Amino acid sequence: MALYALQTEETNGVRPRDWDAELVVQMLLAEPSSGEYPYIQLLAFYRQMDQRKEQSHLNIWRRP
């Protein structure tokens, strides 16, 4: 659901840096096996780029 809410924000022209941070966190809890996972990672990277934090995004891809 968080992914769809963020897609709505994006469609409405909200910049990635202004997306609801709680929705972003919820979105990132998706299982890597889900079909949406690559798209979720791409959206997370867009947000990091918009915040000028590209390097910190690499930590998102590292799961314990």
Mean pLDDT, consecutive 10-residue segments, the chain of 64 residues?
A: 91 93 92 93 89 63 51
Q: What is this structure's pTM? A: 0.74
Say what the alpha-carbon torsion angle 50, 25, 7, 40 is, to the nearest 10 degrees: 80
Helix (H, G, I), strand (E, B) or coil at 63: coil
pLDDT of residue 62: 53
Other beta carbons within 10 angstroms of residue 1's beta carbon come to: 8
- Helices and strands per DSSP (H, E), number in the chain: 4, 0
